[in-house]
Structure 1
Amino acid sequence: MVRRGALYCPTCGTPAPRRHAAGPVPGVPTHERPGREGHRREGMVGTVVNLELANASTGKRAGAKLVDLGIAWLLQLVPFALGAASLLSLSGSRYPTSADQQALLAATVWYVVGGVLGLALWVFCWAWEAKTGKTPGQAMLGLRTSSLEGFAPGWGAVFVRNLVFGLICLIPFVGIVLALVSNAFDPNSKRQGWHDKAARTFVFDVRAGRDPLTTGGINGPASFAPRPELPAVQEVASPMPVRSPVPVTSAAPVTSAASVTSAAPVTSAPSSVPRADRQHSAALQPDAAVHPDTEVGQTRFSRAVGERSGGADEVVLSFSDGRRVALRGPVLVGRNPAGYEEETVQELLAVDDPGKSVSKTHLAVWSDGSRVWVQDRRSTNGTRIVRGDGGSSPAPAGQPVEVDAGDVVHFGDYFFSVGRSRA
């Protein structure tokens, strides 16, 4: 008797033997959904990627800075100690002896060596942090310095950051402590120290979250993911016969009845070109006779913004706060945007920015029918455009910059992406 639910042969009714699932094949990764506890089972191959950003804590930042300072002190300890020992060997007599002169020379040499080593270490750390966001202490504790867009901070930002940090340390008694813990006083909850605000940088914990320098910046995977490759449009021979274009004549001017009756009918001579040749020549008309929006395989904007033909794509701006705005006319973006005198705009898009990283009228966005333009309205913190291929460049103040679908526009602490959707 076959038990309910068992496998059996449909011909003879013999129960089928049980077969276990095939085991893992060596060299081939296996994937399995995690259990209720979220742990992986034995034999699983794969990694969990955290797409969230994590600002570095005050303790880790202070620890990384102390490691950097400790390395500098240790590097200079030996030559400075030898220089001090040379000075202690002086006889102290009123008239220095030859031994005293040699001791002074040795002390000078050791102090110069210590200074050169310290300068070389500082230049190395400056270049390393400017290009990769790392210092020895940050690399040890898993921290990264980045620009406001999440990319390498650059030479200038790192120089300003270290300069302001050093100036804070000059405050008597509490300077070094304030420099190390100033990020704990950030009202924007981004853990920016005073030197970070001056240099416009962030510090992230790449062990608690992702590394923005290698994952497309602050915007994350959406800004560095490759665009989907669309199949190329191929020419296909139409099964329908090609029809000759019908010439469109302009309306005749109003004339009197006498002139109409006196006009002789005009007849054209029969063409000697065969019908097939006429059809072929009609298919080879100049491209100017065809409307650009009717070409196969191309989607273009109509020349008049807002007067789009059915099925055309429209530009959509997707903001970091969740809003989506269809671009059918000029849009001004800012904390309290306002246009110039006699300026016509579609919408004044206000951004709720308690930190005031966005200017009152920060930027303008518009389309001329076929292209999309962004113009920085001479904002305080500027505007940066991250291209779909990962490239980044600032938008010059007052100059229109063309953007395309897939680009991301950063303004202050906010951003929006440019996309297209079927109208």
Structure 2
Amino acid sequence: MSYPPDPNNPYNQPQQPQQPPQPGYGYPQQAPPAAGYGYPQQQPQQPPAAAYGYPQQQAYGYQPMPGTIQANNGYINIAQLGTVKLATMGQRFLARLIDCLAVGAVIALVMALGLAGALGIVKETDDCSQYSYGSISYSDCVQQQNDAAAGIFATMMIMVAVLGVFNLLYEWLMVSFVGATLGKMAMGLRVVKESTGQNPGLGGGFIRFIIPIVGAFVCYIGALLVYLSPFFDNSGKLQGWHDRAAGTLVIKK
């Protein structure tokens, strides 16, 4: 039985299987379907790369750089200490008040001893009015009173020197080697170097101490401004001018 010739293949030539078109210029190559239950598998999405100017998310265990304020919430990262809380101005004021009471008690004791010595010197002098002006006893009485006045002045100067040395050693040495005075200990505060987290040492402690003392020579207004200067610190670290000069921070232990 014969069939009419195919109009598309009048000469009955064997047909070759059609090959898929090869990708060329302008023709994207389609990827073969992935194996599965008739559904193409989705490729796992890669996390977007961090663009310039956008902060990357913190990985587990990430620690910010030392000196970094944590969202301005009063916490800061310090080397060798980790994240610690900054002391508030109220806490620092109470610590300073306790220190003033402690130093004031020592000052009162020294002044009482000096006053007692001065009164003893005054009692030893005689009233020169009972002597005649031309007598030798009168001249001796006047000389004795002059010596007593000089002794009282010397006693007052010794008191001032003792109090100055005490105040220097109290504030300087305790902050340098302990990191805190009695008032700061009572409030649980500590002065540390911002770069190392350690005690300020002799150099840092002295710089931190001497700046308010220099300001006190201007009718004590300069010292008051130094102690109030943490309010003017826009970095969030509550560093006073003396803290900035010494490179220190006051933290809550």
How does the TM-score come out when normalised to structure 1? 0.32
- RMSD (CA atoms): 3.3
Secondary structure, aligned partner of 2:249: strand
User: 1:64-213 residue pairs with structure 2 within 5 A?
Assistant: 64-84=95-115, 86=118, 89=122, 96-98=142-144, 101-102=147-148, 104-105=150-151, 108-109=154-155, 111-113=157-159, 115-148=161-194, 149-172=196-219, 174-206=221-253
Instruction: Give the conservation status (yes or no) of the 8 Å contact 1:91–1:100.
Output: no
What CA deviation, in whole Å up to 9, does each residue of 1:298-341 have, x standing for no partner? xxxxxxxxxxxxxxxxxxxxxxxxxxxxxxxxxxxxxxxxxxxx
**Any conservation in 2 of the 1:72–1:118 contact (CA below 8 Å)?**
no
Q: How does 1:242-253 map to 2 (within 5 A)?
A: none
Q: Judge conservation of contact 1:83–1:108 (CA < 8 Å) in 2.
A: no
Asked which structure has the greater CA Rg, the reply is 2
Check whether the contact 1:161–1:198 (CA below 8 A) recurs between aligned residues.
yes
Q: 1:60 is matched with which residue? A: 91
Change (3 A) 1:180 1:51: same
Distance (whole Å) between structure 1 residues aligned to residue 162 and residue 181 of structure 2: 19
Aligned CA distance change for structure 1 residues 99 and 64 (closer, same or farther; 3 Å): same
State the distance in 2 between where 1:114 and 1:166 align: 15
The structure-2 alpha-carbon separation of the partners of 1:179 and 1:91, relative to structure 1 and needing over 3 Å to count, comes to: farther
CA spacing shift, 1:172–1:127, aligned 2, 3 Å: closer
Change beyond 3 A, Cα 1:169–1:103: closer
Q: 1:60 to 1:111 in 2, by over 3 A?
A: same
Alpha-carbon separation, structure 1, partners of 2:149 and 2:159 = 15
Compute the displacement of 1:80 (Å).
Answer: 2.9
**Cα distance, 1:151–1:98 mapped onto 2, change above 3 Å:** same
- Are the structure 2 counterparts of residues 73 and 111 from structure 1 closer, same or farther at C-alpha, using a change threshold of 3 Å? farther
Once the two structures are aligned, what percentage of the paired residues are identical?
Answer: 27
- Contact 1:83 1:107 (8 Å CA) reproduced: no
Indicate the residue corresponding to 1:237 in structure 2: none
Q: How does 1:269-348 map to 2 (within 5 A)?
A: none
Report what 2:60 is aligned to.
none
Q: Is the 8 A contact 1:79 1:110 kept in 2?
A: no
Structure 2: where are the runs of 5+ without partners? 1-80, 129-138
For structure 1, list consecutive stretches of 5 or more residues without a partner in the other structure. 1-49, 207-423
Q: Provide the aligned length of Structure 1 versus Structure 2.
A: 157
Q: Which runs of 4+ in 1 moved over 6 A?
A: 90-95
